[in-house]
Amino acid sequence: MMTKLTNFFTIHRNLGIKVMTFAQKNSISSTKDHFQIFRAIYTWTNVVLLSIFFASLVLICFPFVYFFDRERHSLHWIAITWALTIGKMNPWWTFEIRGKENLATIGEPVVYVSNHQSQADILAIFMLSTRFRWLAKASLFKIPLFGWALSAVGYVPVVRTSKSSAEKSIKLSSMHLKRGTPMLFFPEGTRSKTGDLGEFKSGAFRLAKMLNVSIIPITISGCSDLLPKGSLCPKYSKVIIHVHDKIEPANLTATELMEKAKLTISSKL
């Protein structure tokens, strides 16, 4: 009889422990879900409010800046401050820059080319705190306030399926380079779904060869975790931005420049 009672209490005690464990796991999972929701709301509230503020600042300053700063570098520095502020306001993101000494000096025209993992890639590039103009999809320029600010700074829109738009973007990019302002391209043309490096388009490399300017490859790793493609929920992530040595265009064709840049970028992924 005592043995049966002992077994009975043992079974119920073990069952109770399992129920408690299951409840604790559910509680932890629920807490994680709530924190993810909080993190998403906090992050996007910051991004939206800061974007409105800094875009408005760009537009307010534009009429005054244009007369003494035709290349609008001061407006670009407002955009850099936007990115740095977003980075500071989000404690679950960290950014590490390697090879910053390889960046172009003031007045030196170069073509930056980078891999493209996430919507947050341009945020990572701005963390470099250096001069550049970048080629961006034209739909971004249609966003009220934000898109107007992109145009005011002098960033270059492109409709990737339009040959005439591509030709116009190359002309605008060439104009910036001839004035000593570097251009930034994402030669994959679209974000990678897997994080692996996709096929490169040749436009940036043909431009560098035509103007005889150096290519500086940049590898971004970690942005695909920071803001995964198709997701609006930011995650904890450490982003590493690796600035590589220059690739000189002399004695290389545009295709060879492209292949060498792609190999260099992939070496740090």
SS3 content of the chain, % helix, strand, coil (to 5): 55, 15, 30
Q: Give dist(CA 240, CA 98) in Å, integer.
A: 7
Rg (C-alpha) for the chain, rounded Å, is: 24
Structure confidence at residue 23 (pLDDT) = 45
Q: Walk along the chain (269 residues) and give the pLDDT tens digit of each residue.
A: 555 445 544 555 555 554 445 444 444 455 666 778 888 899 899 999 999 999 999 999 999 997 889 899 999 999 999 999 999 998 889 999 999 999 999 999 999 999 998 888 999 999 999 999 999 999 999 999 999 999 999 999 999 888 899 999 999 999 999 999 999 999 998 776 666 788 999 999 999 999 999 999 999 999 888 876 667 778 888 999 999 999 999 999 999 999 999 999 999 98
Which pTM does this prediction carry?
Answer: 0.85
Query: Collapsing DSSP states into helix, strand and coil, what is residue 155?
Result: coil
- Residues with Cβ within 8 Å of residue 46, at least 6 apart in sequence: 86, 89, 90
Query: Collapsing DSSP states into helix, strand and coil, what is residue 246?
Result: coil
Structure confidence at residue 5 (pLDDT) = 44
Neighbours of 141 (CB within 10 A): 17
Say if residues 253 and 109 touch (Cβ distance below 8 Å).
no
Structure confidence at residue 3 (pLDDT) = 54
Structure confidence at residue 247 (pLDDT) = 97
Q: Give dist(CA 216, CA 266) in Å, integer.
A: 14
Q: Give dist(CA 269, CA 258) in Å, integer.
A: 17
Structure confidence at residue 117 (pLDDT) = 85
